[in-house]
Amino acid sequence: MSLPMVSVDSILVRSEVIKKKFCCDLEKCKGACCTFESDYGAPLLEEEIPIIKNILPKVKKYLSERNIEYIDKNDFYEINDNGIFTRGINKRDCVFVFYDENNIAKCAIEKAYMNGEVDFKKPISCHLFPIRIHNFGGDILVFENFVGCQPALPNGEKLDIPTFKFCKDALIRKYGENWYKKLEDIANSQ
């Protein structure tokens, strides 16, 4: 019997994170997670702000003039009652988005990381997506069912990749290898 939630070292994990299959299909979604319509961009941790400020000069070289001007005028983040977020341009594109030759939206921070120019991959909320962390006296990991990611569901089914495995590197980055191994053991026992 599958439980609606499991606990891994006091971190609650919704069953969808374990059971739902997911694997990005960029050719079909075109990087929708970086461009979906919203009043807010990606959630940021307070400790990520100085890191991003420090690497921003290296990241900017991958951005369009529009994005650079926007960041120079408005900064790359905002703080409001709901938390800290990257800014979005026209309530859509993340300020760190660039488009590749196939018109797929990608992250300039991640590009600088992949090119060995910085040692910060991207905000943890982006790295974990489609897993979101909610905090109700402790972390609760949930699967965010975002319409732009619909192509990832049949792709995940076809490749037989559960969401938690798709997000393995991000989960290890956030909670550590021992924690991930415990989650994997729980998933395998269900």
Rounded to whole angstroms, how far apart are CA atoms 79 and 117? 28
* CB-based contacts of 45-51 (< 8 A; 24+ apart in sequence): 45/84, 45/123, 45/124, 45/125, 46/84, 48/120, 48/123, 48/124, 49/77, 49/84, 51/120
pLDDT of residue 92: 86
Query: What pLDDT is attached to residue 37?
Result: 83
- 73: which residues sit within 8 A by CB, 6+ positions away? none
Q: pLDDT tens, position by position, for the chain (190 residues)? A: 455 889 999 999 999 999 999 999 999 999 888 888 887 889 999 999 999 999 999 999 999 999 999 999 999 999 988 899 999 998 889 999 999 999 999 999 999 999 999 999 999 999 999 999 988 888 999 999 888 889 999 999 999 999 999 999 999 999 999 999 999 999 998 7
d(CA 13, CA 15): 6
Tell me how far apart the alpha carbons of residues 77 and 190 are, in angstroms, rounded to a whole number. 40
In this prediction, residue 2 carries a pLDDT of 55
User: What was the pLDDT predicted at 81?
Assistant: 86
Q: Report pLDDT digits (tens) over 23-33.
A: 999 999 998 88
Q: Which residues have C-beta within 8 Å of that of residue 83, sequence separation ≥ 6?
A: 43, 44
Q: How far is CA 74 from CA 6, 44, 78, 87, 89, in A?
A: 41, 16, 9, 8, 10
In Å, what is the CA distance from 50 to each residue of 18, 30, 45?
Answer: 33, 29, 10
